[in-house]
Amino acid sequence: MRIDERLPVSEYLRRSKSTPDGMAWILVCIASALGLIDLYFGWNLLPLAYASKFDKAAIMLIFSPLLVFLALVNLRGSSSNHYSKMAWIRAIIVVTVFVVLNF
């Protein structure tokens, strides 16, 4: 299945979940949701960078999946897909961007 930026969003997301970088993005969404739950209830299980500032931490956790998705789309469009390990490299970049933004 070819993932192309000209696909409708729902089809793009459906095809993305079968790739390593798409699964990494889903993992980022789940981690962000768990981080929001942790932040809301004040459990402090995750070492968030802005845990002392509730508003800033919440905004970062809410918008991180969107920012990571935009970075993923940009990486897919600009990188050479001839290299067989490129999806794994993008997956590592996706997780790294999330960790840098929030932890």
Each residue's pLDDT tens digit, 34-86:
999 999 998 888 888 888 889 999 999 999 999 999 998 888 887 666 677 88
Angle between helices 9-16 and 20-41 (to 10 degrees): 100
Domain boundaries, the chain: 18-102
Q: Whose structure tokens read 């001839």?
A: 82
Residues 88, 52: Cα–Cα separation, whole Å: 34
CB 15 within 8 A of CB 1: yes
Tell me the pTM: 0.86
Residues 94, 21: Cα–Cα separation, whole Å: 7
CB 15 within 8 A of CB 3: yes
Query: Residue 82: its pLDDT value, please?
Result: 64
Write out the two tokens for 71.
Answer: 């970075």
